[in-house]
């Protein structure tokens, strides 16, 4: 039987290679940050700078911008590997491919999730978010961006080589539960209620999402091979 450390070996290989590659290309983690801040700046420009109005809508605005920028960041996750043949190596190795896909998504989440959370802290200043909600924002966004990366990877695999906007349309409807959970957590935190229930639901969604979505992504990639 294949020894288990082989799968772990491959997992670390994909993770470390993608991390080095992403840090070489500084654009990968700065673009979501700037996109997030621009979207957040548009709201006060459009709705007026009044503090009370902005702080009442702050959590919604931040969550929607976080979803959109993490989706935008995940567009080209497979396109480069598909083009230069490294994606074939995943299938040649007799390791379960969805583990390697999860390694790629995890690396992408580490590289793009952190700037998005930094940007959400900055925008909580811009939008006068009530101070109690900042920790809840960070925790819910940590889970939310991971789920969005998984979902976005599936969209990217389905629209490999096709237009990028297609993957957004495919994936956005599926991110509604995450959005609702996230904003529920935020409103509970703002009214000083206990939001651990919602966190558990989000955790459950992730527990199903990680294996499920990765398996579906593998199927979606295989489509491009026949």
Partner 1 sequence: MNRIWSGIKNWLIAMGSPPLFYRWATSSLPWLAGLAFLMFSAGLIWGIGFSPADYKQGDVYRIIYIHVPSAILAESIYLLMAVGGFISMVWRAKIAGMLINSAAPLGAGFTLVALVTGSIWGKPTWGTWWVWDARLTSTLILFFLYAAIIGLHSSIENKTKADRAVSILAVLGVVIVPIIKKSVDWWQTLHQPSTFTLTSSPSMAPEMYLPLLVCVLGFYCLFVFMLSNSLRGEIISRERDKAWVKKQFFKQ
Partner 2 sequence: MSNILKVKNLNCQRSGKVVLQGLNFEVEAGKNVEIIGSNGSGKTTILRLLLGFINDYDGDIYWNDSEVPSKLQEKDIHCFYQGHQIGIKPLLTVYENLKFSSSGFNSSEEEITSVANKVGIKTFLNRQSASLSAGQKRRIAIGRWLLKDFNLYLIDEPFTTLDDEGVELIKGVVTELNNRGASFLITGHRPSELNSKKIYLEVENER
Stretch in the footprint of partner 2 (CB under 8 A) among 4-12, 48-56, 59-67, 131-139: 4-12
- For the record, the structure tokens of 183 come out as 């904003």
For partner 2, the closer of residues 14 and 156 by Cβ is 14
Judged by beta carbon distances under 5 to 8 A according to partner kind, the member of partner 1, partner 2, none in contact with residue 225 is partner 2
Which structure tokens are listed for 127?
Answer: 């939008």
Q: Which does 163 bind (CB under 5 to 8 A by kind): partner 2, partner 1, none?
A: none
* 149/141 Cα distance (integer angstroms): 12
Q: How far is the CB of 24 from partner 1 (least distance, A)?
A: 12
- Binding status of residue 44 toward partner 1 by CB under 8 A: yes
Nearer to partner 2, 25 or 162 (CB): 25
Q: Is 86 in the site for partner 2 (CB under 8 A)?
A: yes
What does the block give as tokens for 7? Answer: 């799968």
Residue 219 as a binder of partner 2 (CB under 8 A): the answer is no
C-alpha to C-alpha distances, 135 to 110, 138, 144, 193, nearest whole angstrom: 19, 5, 14, 13
* Contacting partner 1 within 4-43 (CB under 8 A): 26-27, 30-31, 34, 37-38, 41
Task: Give min distance, CB of 199 to partner 1, in A.
Answer: 28
Q: Tokens 């503090």 correspond to what residue? A: 51
CA torsion 170-174-176-182 (nearest 10°) is: -120
Task: Say which DSSP state 133 is in.
Answer: G
45 binds, among partner 2, partner 1, none (CB under 5 to 8 A by kind): partner 1
Place of tokens 């929607």: 64
């Amino acid at each position: 039987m294949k020894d288990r450390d082989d799968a772990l070996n491959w997992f670390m290989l994909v993770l470390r290679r993608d991390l080095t590659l992403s840090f070489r290309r500084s654009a990968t983690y700065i673009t979501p940050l700037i996109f997030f801040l621009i979207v957040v700046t548009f709201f006060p420009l459009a709705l007026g700078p009044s503090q009370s109005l902005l702080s009442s809508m702050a959590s919604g605005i931040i969550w929607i911008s976080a979803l959109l920028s993490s989706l935008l960041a995940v567009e080209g996750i497979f396109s480069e590997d598909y083009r230069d043949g490294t994606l074939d190596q995943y299938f040649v190795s007799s390791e379960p491919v969805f583990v390697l896909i999860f390694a790629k998504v995890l690396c992408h989440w580490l590289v793009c999730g952190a700037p998005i959370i930094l940007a959400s802290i900055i925008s909580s200043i811009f939008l006068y978010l009530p101070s109690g909600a900042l920790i809840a924002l960070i925790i819910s966004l940590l889970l939310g961006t991971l789920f969005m990366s998984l979902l976005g990877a599936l969209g990217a695999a389905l629209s490999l080589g096709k237009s990028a906007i297609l993957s957004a349309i495919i994936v956005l409807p599926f991110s509604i539960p995450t959005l609702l959970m996230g904003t529920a957590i935020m409103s509970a935190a703002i009214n000083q209620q206990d939001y651990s229930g919602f966190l558990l639901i989000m955790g459950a969604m992730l527990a199903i999402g990680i294996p499920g979505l990765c398996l579906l992504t593998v199927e979606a990639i295989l489509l491009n091979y026949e």
